Amino acid sequence: MRLRNSHIALLVCLLAGITVLVTLYTVHPTERVILLPQPDGTPSAVIVQSKTGATAVLDRPYSVATIAPKKIGSDQTDEVSVKTRYKELFDAFPARPRAYVLYFETGGTKLTPESAKLVQLVVSVLSDIKDLPASELTVIGHADEVGTDALNDELSRRRAAAIVSLLKSRGIDTTRASIVGRGSRDPLVPTRMGTAEVKNRRVEIRLK
């Protein structure tokens, strides 16, 4: 998207799951690339490459690459400055999906102590779901590699259902919630069969 002023700018917004992006394009003296933060706060980076082969790595939110014909300069800005300067562009962005992850003790639907402490934060963020038109709440359960596929399929669905019940008990509107059990099919940490891994015993809460 090109902005309606004398400066040509390009904002790079990394989508979830993309950590490195190489951008190659025809350069102009005042082109800029700005790295926006990931929706969930996870680290990300972008490699900017000019037509002449000059490169710069942006690895901090709101870091800037300024592209000239023979070199790329680096700078740092902040959220307020970016959203003020490019207000028209941000207004045109679709709403970002929100995602939260809770982890479980082995073999059941009990949250780890760390995840139990996060429940109230998740509840406070989701409390406005009733005011979001046509919003979708999807709760996806996962299991690690301990146990059979059939048992893990059932366990992952029970974990998702347990979180939906927990959210409902805290006052969250769950009438539009979808419950999904993925078993051990989508591990965050690939392991061998029979390996217990807390990051694979999880529930993902997605709101969009």
B/e letters for 154-185, b = 16+ CB within 10 Å, e = fewer, are: bbbbbbbbbbbebbeeeebbbeebebebbbbe
d(CA 120, CA 140): 19
For 179, left (φ over 0), alpha (ψ -120 to 50), or beta?
beta
Q: Is the pLDDT of residue 148 over 80?
A: yes
Strand pairing class (202-207; 137-141):
antiparallel
Tokens of 50: 């000019």
H helices then E strands: how many in the chain?
A: 4, 11
pLDDT tens-digit map of 1-18 = 444 433 434 444 443 333
The pLDDT-based confidence of 30 (bands split at 50, 70, 90) is low
Does this model's pTM top 0.85? My answer is no
The predicted pLDDT at position 95 comes to: 60
Q: So what's the pLDDT on residue 40?
A: 54
Enter the tokens of residue 176. Answer: 């539009």
Q: Could you tell me the CATH superfamily of domain 98-207?
A: OmpA-like domain (3.30.1330.60)
What confidence score (pLDDT) does residue 47 get? 86
> For residue 198, which amino acid is it?
V
- pLDDT (tens digit, 9 = 90+) per residue, 81-121? 888 888 888 777 766 667 899 999 999 999 999 999 999 98
Q: Tell me: the pLDDT tens digits for 59-72? A: 888 999 888 877 88
Intervals of CATH 3.30.1330.60 along the chain:
98-207
Strand order in the sheet with 10-13: 10-13, 31-36, 63-67, 72-76
Residue 13 pLDDT: 42
Q: Is the dihedral of CA 50, 61, 186, 96 positive or negative?
A: negative
